[in-house]
Amino acid sequence: MPLHLRGTVLPEGVVRDVWALGDRLTFDRPSGPADTVADGGFLLPGLVDVHTHPGAAEGETVFDPAVFAEQIAAHRDAGTTALRFPGLLGDVPAEVRDAPDAPRMITAGRWLAWAGLSKNAGFHTVTADLVTAAVAEAKANDGWCKLMADWDFEAPPVPHELLRTVVEAVHAAGGRVAAHCQSAEGVLGAARAGIDSIEHGMGMPEECVGLMAAHGTAYVPTLTAFARSAPQIKSTARGRLWQEGHRTMIRRVREAHDAGVTVLAGTDSAPFGNVATEVEHLIAAGLPAESAVGAASWTARAFLGLPALTEGALADITVYDADPRREPAVLRHPRRIVLRGRVIR
């Protein structure tokens, strides 16, 4: 039996009737009876976390399929219906990815670290041939690869020319590139290279904002992770760089938005299913509330190639009692969650 929902469709702000026919939405009333699962409220096309790394308990670097399933379920139960993994410790278990109640998943394979970087954490895949590795990861996954543009505040990052070659090769193969950036030189090199998404952006020079706007680069600041870690960093030279980087990221969020850069919501931290907190951090950084909510919903879906609430779209809807553009805290309390045309809550 089709599912029927009626409410204010966001971001348009128009009251409409929506039906889920299997895993597709329609605004045309189907023949026969339907099961009304929501009447009133505000309808979002599902929340999105564009930067999350499930699969390991906190502090661990070994992929655990059971932990992955638990953390995915936490995302889902919070109304997060789509996820991008810019780096995983292992492969997504097929039985989890294909489950009828699983969020949409977009993978980028493993973290890629060029062998010429000053240091590499143990969970990175180190390669001397970053171009070939990046193309292979993008082809093997969902069109994305994830690389480390730097891994140190002061040591030289991946050379700009190499980054540009990676971007050109991956784009030629039909893929996109996400880059971890923390040093000023690393962010600047990634922005000049036309990377598709800059993750974190600590130490981002002001000129990067214009470069991102010109290249269509998205900015994923992951403020939740840094708001959590910055106060815990000891007062050392590196700690001070870390804390200043956090403050820089906050400043650049509004500047990027005002320049026309797509700013997106990614948590990069536990607890999973906590993208509402990232929305709140984006608002505190100066992003308009509607843009912050979109960063975790319709804007993020468009960036990932997923439709919003349109005719024939995927049947992912979260329903809220209040308008999250005016009351963002309501994102923590979805009244109804429909995923893949099934009622989750």
Contact, 113 vs 149, CB < 8 A?
no
161 lies in the same domain as 23: no
Q: CATH number for the domain including 290?
A: 3.20.20.140
pLDDT value for 188: 97
**Tens-place pLDDT, residues 295-337:** 999 999 999 999 999 999 999 999 999 999 999 999 999 999 9
63 lies in the same domain as 204: yes
Q: CATH number for the domain including 38?
A: 2.30.40.10
171 lies in the same domain as 236: yes
Contact, 217 vs 197, CB < 8 A?
yes
CA distances from 291 to 141, 197, 262, 285, 336 (A): 29, 17, 9, 12, 22
pLDDT value for 160: 93
Q: Which domain holds residue 332?
A: 3-44+307-343
- Ranges under pLDDT 70 in the chain: 120-122, 230, 232, 234
pLDDT value for 237: 74
218 lies in the same domain as 267: yes
40 lies in the same domain as 121: no
34 lies in the same domain as 183: no
94 lies in the same domain as 127: yes
**Tens-place pLDDT, residues 128-174:** 999 999 999 999 999 999 999 998 887 899 999 999 999 999 999 99
181 lies in the same domain as 192: yes
pLDDT value for 49: 98
The tally of domains found in the chain comes to 2
What pTM did the predictor assign?
0.96
What does the alpha-carbon distance between residue 145 and residue 136 come to, in Å, rounded to a whole number?
Answer: 8
192 lies in the same domain as 55: yes
pLDDT value for 238: 74
290 lies in the same domain as 321: no
CA distances from 98 to 11, 21, 68, 78, 272 (A): 29, 19, 14, 19, 20
pLDDT value for 121: 63
36 lies in the same domain as 94: no
21 lies in the same domain as 167: no
The structure tokens 């995983």 sit at: 88
Among 67, 50, 66, CA closest to 58: 67
